[in-house]
């Protein structure tokens, strides 16, 4: 995934990369569990949904910083297959928020050359949102800037079951023998087919769990957990996460640190 250099069409100046960061050891792919919107709102005496609204601003900031600092891919967990169990009015608010944000941000995503993809069971989303998602993915598919994946109605277990079904169908059709199925075949049936696995997983708001996110793809990700609630996640919090990443020895099961 290569990035084009800044062009004269860029209207906003790029945020400089913090000097403390080693440019040669940045993660290529950052994944983030954007948690704590509700707690952020509660701590301010606001309704939970105001936290979701503020969370959108934090996501826009994070995307821009990742792009400006030379990170090639950002994958954000926006709505899990389990989040349908929340009260109906919160779920509807979120679906409407996703639609509104996609409508209002598409132009700037195009201008910034972001390639946006939505990962998850998109058929289960409201029709209007599905249409906006299809349009946004098509219109940005040739872009050469940061790859931005938004996991929406996403569940890691469901993704793996879907991959198993698709492989089984291919086996039944005689295209593939069960014995020949390897990790590459399985990875190719995931929503993330063709993408590199995340190097760094950030979870905000302090919970120490994965919550059904990218179960396959996070096999060797470094994990950074911060108490910062997602709406407060900013350049400083991202820098902390990246510095933490750069302090790790990634061994991938071996004995020597392997440079990422
Ligand atoms: C994350 O924030 C956003 C979504 C899951 C959609 P939460 O809504 O989970 O916030 P908390 O965890 O209740 O504070
Ligand atoms: C994970 O957060 C899902 C998203 C951020 C979209 P949750 O708030 O749903 O996770 P749990 O319930 O604390 O595990
Ligand atoms: Mg939560």
Look at residue 92 and tell me if it is in a domain: yes
Q: What's the gap in Å between 38 CA and the centre of ligand 3?
A: 7
Look at residue 21 and tell me if it is in a domain: no
Annotated catalytic residue 197: no
For residue 28, which of 71, 69, 64 has the smallest C-alpha distance? 71
Look at residue 17 and tell me if it is in a domain: no
Joined tokens for residue 5 = 């250099």
Look at residue 37 and tell me if it is in a domain: yes
Q: Which residues line ligand 2 (CB under 6 A)?
A: 33-35, 77-80, 83, 207, 209, 211
Catalytic position from the list 22, 35, 37, 249: 35
How many domains, the chain? 1
Measured CA to CA, the distance from residue 199 to residue 20 in angstroms comes to 19
Indicate the length of the chain as a whole number: 260
Annotated catalytic residue 35: yes
Predicted pLDDT at 260: 61
Confidence of residue 8 (pLDDT cuts 50, 70, 90): very low
Measured CA to CA, the distance from residue 38 to residue 149 in angstroms comes to 23
Residue-wise pLDDT for 84-128, tens only, equals: 999 999 999 999 999 999 999 999 999 999 999 999 999 999 999
Domain that residue 38 falls in: 26-105+125-155+198-246
Q: What's the gap in Å between 249 CA and the centre of ligand 2?
A: 28
The mean pLDDT of 141-148, rounded to a whole number, is 98
Look at residue 251 and tell me if it is in a domain: no
The mean pLDDT of 139-150, rounded to a whole number, is 98
Measured CA to CA, the distance from residue 190 to residue 161 in angstroms comes to 10
Look at residue 110 and tell me if it is in a domain: no
Predicted pLDDT at 250: 96
Measured CA to CA, the distance from residue 195 to residue 10 in angstroms comes to 27
Higher pLDDT, 176 or 12: 176
pTM, two decimals, is 0.95
Look at residue 63 and tell me if it is in a domain: yes
Look at residue 53 and tell me if it is in a domain: yes
List the CATH number of the domain containing 53.
Answer: 3.40.1180.10
Higher pLDDT, 129 or 260: 129
Shortest-distance atom of ligand 2 to CA 82: 9
Q: Which helix (H) or strand (E) holds 170?
A: helix 156-172
Catalytic position from the list 10, 83, 143, 244: 83
């Amino acid at each position: 995934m290569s990035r084009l250099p800044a062009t004269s069409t860029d209207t906003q100046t790029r945020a400089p990369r913090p000097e403390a960061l080693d440019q040669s050891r940045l993660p290529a792919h950052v994944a983030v569990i954007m948690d704590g919107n509700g707690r952020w709102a509660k701590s301010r005496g606001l309704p939970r949904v105001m936290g979701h609204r503020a969370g959108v601003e934090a996501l826009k900031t994070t995307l821009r910083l990742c792009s400006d600092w030379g990170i090639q891919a950002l994958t954000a967990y926006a709505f899990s297959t389990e989040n349908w169990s929340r009260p109906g009015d919160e779920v509807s608010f979120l679906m409407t928020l996703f639609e509104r944000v996609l409508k209002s941000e598409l132009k700037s995503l195009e201008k910034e050359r972001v390639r946006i993809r939505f990962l998850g069971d998109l058929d289960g989303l409201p029709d209007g949102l599905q249409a906006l998602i299809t349009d946004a993915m098509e219109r940005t598919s040739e872009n050469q800037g940061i790859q931005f994946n938004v996991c929406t109605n996403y569940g890691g277990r469901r993704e793996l079951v879907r991959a198993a079904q698709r492989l089984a169908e291919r086996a039944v059709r005689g295209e593939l023998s069960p014995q020949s199925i390897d990790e590459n075949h399985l990875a190719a049936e995931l929503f993330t087919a063709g993408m590199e696995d995340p190097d760094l997983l950030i979870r905000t708001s302090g919970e120490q769990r994965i919550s059904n996110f990218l179960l396959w793809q996070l096999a060797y990700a470094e994990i950074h957990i911060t108490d910062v609630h997602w709406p407060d996640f900013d350049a400083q919090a991202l820098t902390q996460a990246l510095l933490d990443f750069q302090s790790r020895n990634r061994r991938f099961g071996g004995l020597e640190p392997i440079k990422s």
